[in-house]
Structure 1
C-alpha cells in the first residue's frame, strides 16, 4: 500500500477518520464482522462498564483494574442505549 496522500491526511485531520477503499477484501470484511458478532454475542451487556471522560469512578472498578491483558467492552452513556449488535 502506498503512503497516504496530502489530501487523505487532510481529510483525516478534518473528519477524524479515513476511508480506504479496498483496504480489506470482501472476504476479509465478512470474516472481521463475523468475529466481532461472536465477541459481541459473548459479552455480558449487564456488566459492561460505562466509560466517562468527565466522571472517573470507572477507573477504580475491578473491570478496568484487571483488563489490561484482555479485550472487553466499555461504553459511553449514549452507546449504552443501543444493543451492541447495532454497531456492526
Structure 2
C-alpha cells in the first residue's frame, strides 16, 4: 500500500472573540478575555496587547491539537472585540 501524504490546510483563519470584562474579585479590576471555539482557546490578560501576545503564544499548539492538518506557519487569527453600553457612562 502506498504511503499517502496529505497536504496541510494553509491560510486557515480562526475567529477570536475578545471582551473587556470586570473580574469577579474584591479589587474590581478589569481583564481582557479571548475565546476561540475552533481552537478550544480561553485565556485572559490585564492588557489588550498582553492578551494578543498570549493568544499567539498558545494558538499554534492548540491548532495542532484541535485542528489536525493545519499549517500553523500560515494560520491567521481574526480578533473581534465586542463592547457594550454597560461598560461606558452614557448621558441620556
Task: Report the TM range for the smaller structure's normalisation.
Answer: under 0.3
User: Which protein is richer in helix relative to its size?
Assistant: 1
TM-score, normalised on structure 2?
0.24
Q: Kindly indicate whether structure 1 or structure 2 has the higher relative contact order, using CA contacts under 8 Å at least 6 residues apart.
A: 2
User: Which protein is richer in strand relative to its size?
Assistant: 2
